[in-house]
Amino acid sequence: MANALRNNTRKRGPKKTNGSKGEGVSPKIIYIILVFFVASTLALLIVLFMNRAAPLDTVQKDIEKLGEVVSRHEVPNSTMTAWYIKVKDTGENALFFTTRDGKTMAGGSLWDTATGEPITADLAAKMISDNPELATGEVAGNSGSAQASPQASASASQPDMTPGQAIGKWDGEVPKVFEVLDTLGGFKEDESVAPEDTIYLLYDPRCPYCTEFLKKSRNIDMKAKGVTIKWLPSVALGVQGEDDPVIAQAAYGLVTTNINDFMKSFGTGGDAMRVDTVSDDQMNALDANLSLLYEAADRTFGEGSPKAVPAAFYMDKRNGTPRMVYGAQEDNILVSIFGE
């Protein structure tokens, strides 16, 4: 028995242990490692291939099946792309977003996940300001006369950058829409100026473009031009619940009485001027201003069109018709309203 065991041991050879002379790695282990490496590399390549960015020109060709692409823009802090299109079937303007691979299109509102701030309105304003032909609309009723409210029928006009459209005297009948606009809640810089000589500026105090318009408007000699601005506050960029402090910040534009305090209500910092408590009347006034933006924009630029601030309303002194424009902070549009 002992001899048999010894013979058996000699036939199998000495058992190798870690660190023994002549140590080697099993070919089977090498094969497994190679297979795992190849499979992992393949999987990585597949993931990279599936998530590669699609050429925007290729994506645009697909989108053009739905309508005419008017503008496209990268979404801030995102791999998405925003598309402003004129829909084929309805002729309406619409804002859509596509994913990085161009395979998915979505509509609706976007928020910055880091700050919680909505970005859709600012993005739409930027796209429209880059395309002045989208930024000018004319509110006209039957036979060129305005209807009696901001909800008057309207149609988008061709680009018209004629300087000083809101400046000068109008001897004809003043559309009643301006009486309605003048009753809306807000801060009018000079109460002595007539409604037809007032530029009504709908804004959100957090909007950087609204702040830009505010700063640029300080360089305009309103008295010499015979006009003033009435600021119509809103929370167009959205709120997070009824206790969102931005509501009190916007409401400050309803109660302020001087331009210096008014300017302190702009911005996103915690030190912006606010009312202590938002009353029901103030909340209703903010809602009314926002309704003006939505309804007037739908009638001016088309049902379902993007809504953006700042939005300016004024009377065109050449023909007495009300006008609505986006991108009022842009120099060319400022000139078209106030002149050089």
The domain that holds 93 is classified in CATH as 3.10.450
Instruction: Kindly state the percentage of the chain with pLDDT values over 90.
Output: 40
Pair 234, 202: CB distance under 8 Å = yes
> What pLDDT digit, counting tens, does each position of 109-163 carry?
677 777 766 676 667 666 665 654 444 333 222 222 222 222 222 223 335 789 9
> What pLDDT digit, counting tens, does each position of 156-168 carry?
333 578 999 999 9
Instruction: Kindly state the percentage of the chain with pLDDT values over 70.
Output: 71
Query: Same structural domain for residues 139 and 98?
Result: no
Q: Give the residues across from 200 on adjacent strands.
A: 230, 313
Question: Structural domain tally of the chain?
Answer: 2
Query: Same structural domain for residues 196 and 303?
Result: yes
Query: Same structural domain for residues 93 and 141?
Result: no
Whether residue 311 is contained in a domain is answered as yes
Per-residue model confidence (pLDDT) at position 145: 25
- Please state, in angstroms and rounded to a whole number, the distance separating the CA atoms of residues 237 and 309: 9
Whether residue 115 is contained in a domain is answered as no
Query: Same structural domain for residues 103 and 246?
Result: no
- Please state, in angstroms and rounded to a whole number, the distance separating the CA atoms of residues 79 and 98: 9
Pair 238, 259: CB distance under 8 Å = no
Residue carrying structure tokens 């009190």: 248
Query: Same structural domain for residues 219 and 289?
Result: yes
What are the CA-CA distances from residue 49 to residues 54, 77, 78, 173 (Å)? Answer: 10, 22, 19, 65
Closest CA to 159 of 140, 138, 180: 138
Per-residue model confidence (pLDDT) at position 188: 98
Query: Same structural domain for residues 63 and 189?
Result: no
Q: Say yes or no to pLDDT of 257 above 80.
A: yes
Mean pLDDT of 240-268: 93
Whether residue 157 is contained in a domain is answered as yes
DSSP symbols for 40-75: HHHHHHHHHHHTPPPPHHHHHHHHTTTEEEEEEEEP
Query: Same structural domain for residues 139 and 278?
Result: yes
DSSP symbols for 232-292: EE--TT--SSTT-HHHHHHHHHHH--SHHHHHTT-SSSTTS---SS--HHHHHHHHHHHHH
Amino acid letter at 250?
A
- Please state, in angstroms and rounded to a whole number, the distance separating the CA atoms of residues 166 and 161: 12
- Please state, in angstroms and rounded to a whole number, the distance separating the CA atoms of residues 243 and 184: 23
Query: Same structural domain for residues 157 and 303?
Result: yes
Query: Same structural domain for residues 82 and 159?
Result: no
Query: Same structural domain for residues 98 and 246?
Result: no
- Single residue among 92, 108, 124 that ends a domain in this structure: 108
Q: Give the residues across from 311 on adjacent strands.
A: 202, 326
Whether residue 85 is contained in a domain is answered as yes
Q: Say yes or no to pLDDT of 51 above 90.
A: no
Whether residue 89 is contained in a domain is answered as yes
Closest CA to 286 of 297, 271, 275: 275
Closest CA to 178 of 339, 283, 324, 297: 324
Q: Residue 23: which H helix or E strand, with range?
A: none
Query: Same structural domain for residues 65 and 211?
Result: no
Per-residue model confidence (pLDDT) at position 232: 98
Query: Same structural domain for residues 153 and 103?
Result: no
CATH of the domain at 180: 3.40.30.10
Residues spanned by the domain of 99: 56-108
Continuous H helices in the chain: 2-12, 27-50, 56-63, 120-129, 132-135, 177-183, 208-217, 222-225, 245-255, 259-263, 280-301, 331-338
- Please state, in angstroms and rounded to a whole number, the distance separating the CA atoms of residues 75 and 87: 21
**pTM confidence score:** 0.59
Whether residue 116 is contained in a domain is answered as no
Q: With H, G, I as helix, E, B as strand and everything else as coil, classify residue 96.
A: strand
